Amino acid sequence: GEAVPASQKSSWASFLKSIAGVSGDLSSLTAPPFILSPISLTEFPAYWCERPELFAAIADAKTDESRSVAVLKWFISTLKGQYTSRNEKLGSEKKPLNPVLGELFYGFWPDLNSRGRTNLVVEQVSHHPPITAYYIENVSKGLTLQGHSAQKTSFSGGSIIVKQIGHAVLTVDLPGGAKEQFLITLPRLRIDGLWYGSPYIELTETSYIQSSTGWLSTIEYKGKGYFSGKSHQFKALLTPPGSNNARRTFEGLWHTTSKDVGSGELFTDVQGPKEEVSVASLDEQDEWESRRLWSAVAKGIREGDFETASREKSKIENEQRQRRRDELAADTTWPLKHFDHIDSDPVYEELGRLFKANPPAEDAYVFKNNGPHQ
């Protein structure tokens, strides 16, 4: 394939073979240089808020139905950033830096046009398997999003299949002191194009957004080769509390536009620019903050100096191994800074029951309300 530099063909081939043989966690496999990304997975939760005005708009909805529609619209509008932005920025999907335990990522989107300020706090809460916890809040709009992200990978038909583990809970403060909650589950991914060295993601199967009011969005994903031959298709059905019949249907392409099937009106349009998260400069960052922690590795990858990148990466990994040994010897464990782990999320259990979520229970990481912005 053309995307694989001639000198890395055999290492790409053996990487693909090792992928086929490993099931579960690919993060520790060594990949050839051309496929390495200089960005850590702790930065990925920022994709949730790159259209801050759509997030803020959830708070302005006046009815339960319109709030569920606003949440669906925001969710669908995040998918292009979540699943295609490395192709746009780096040329293809690439292997992200594997975060260390305790790695942090802080950012914000400023208050503009009365949408309020949105803050982001991310912490790597497990190294193997990688688990990333995040908390996003817009205080002036009364919105918080709390979630965690992990993956189980397998190999099938030449593609990597990624089952996303984890979920997100969006909480909306309603006028009068009540709260509405939304349980958000995550789609399955298929990583295609591996053979040619130019991986890209397709979304498959179904994900759900269940509101505590009873409204449910069921989102089905399809790619090329199904009914219309187009990539990145979705169809979302919105059903009222206690009903099996859809009240509204939305359909289209999650990376460009979609429409409200009933009215024919435009639903989502993500062709315009998105707004990347604002992050403190490197010298203002704490040593555990992702961009500072990985700066030498990232510089090596960006400049094609893979010797430096791999030497700097080994430094970080050795330091981590030593920490783990010291903890073992002292019979201590690494304390999480911003999150408390709970074995079962009561919101997942309660709202998941309404649409028969599988699995019926999941753990969660609860924000301690101690972000740098709090």
Give the C-alpha distances (Å, rounded to integers) separating 114 from 59, 96, 118, 141, 374: 12, 35, 12, 10, 20
Closest to ligand 0T9 by CB, 141 or 167: 167
Give the C-alpha separation, 112 to 104, whole Å.
26
Q: Which stretch binds ligand 0T9 (CB under 6 A): 24-32, 176-184, 221-229, 333-341?
A: 24-32
User: Considering only 27-35, 61-69, 177-185, 278-286, which stretch makes contact with ligand 0T9 by CB under 6 A?
Assistant: 27-35
- Provide the minimum distance between the beta carbon of 61 and ligand 0T9 in the complex, in angstroms, as a whole number: 24
Binding to ligand 0T9 by CB under 6 A, coded x per residue (else -) over 55-94, reads ---------------------------xx---------xx
Stretch that binds ligand 0T9, among 158-166, 230-238, 270-278, 305-313 (CB under 6 A): 158-166
Q: Does 26 bind ligand 0T9 (CB under 6 A)?
A: yes
Separation between Cα atoms, residue 6 and residue 346, nearest integer Å: 52
Q: Is 351 in the site for ligand 0T9 (CB under 6 A)?
A: no
Cβ distance to ligand 0T9 smaller for residue 19 or 253:
19
Q: How far is the CB of 36 from ligand 0T9 (least distance, A)?
A: 8
**Nearest distance from residue 66's CB to ligand 0T9, in Å?**
26
Distance CA 85, CA 92 (A): 9
Among 51, 73, 80, 95, indicate the residue that binds ligand 0T9 (CB under 6 A): 95
Cβ burial of 8 (10 Å; 0-12, 13-18, 19+) is: middle
Binding residue for ligand 0T9, selected from 84, 151, 185, 258, defined by CB under 6 A: 151
Q: Site for ligand 0T9 (CB under 6 A): how many residues?
A: 19
Does 47 bind ligand 0T9 (CB under 6 A)? Our answer is: yes
Angle between helices 295-303 and 306-330 (to 10 degrees): 160
Q: Which of residues 164-203 bind ligand 0T9 (CB under 6 A)?
A: 164, 191, 199
For residue 341, give both structure tokens: 């782990």
CA dihedral 39, 221, 188, 170 (to 10 degrees): 70
Q: Give kind and range of the element (H or E) at residue 353.
A: helix 346-354
Neighbouring CB atoms inside 10 A of 301's CB total: 23
Q: Which is nearer to ligand 0T9, 126 or 140 (CB)?
A: 126
Considering the complex, what minimum distance in angstroms separates the CB of residue 158 from ligand 0T9?
13
162 binds ligand 0T9 (CB under 6 A): yes
Q: Which residues sit at the interface with ligand 0T9, rule CB under 6 A?
A: 26-27, 31, 35, 44, 47, 82-83, 93-96, 149, 151, 160, 162, 164, 191, 199
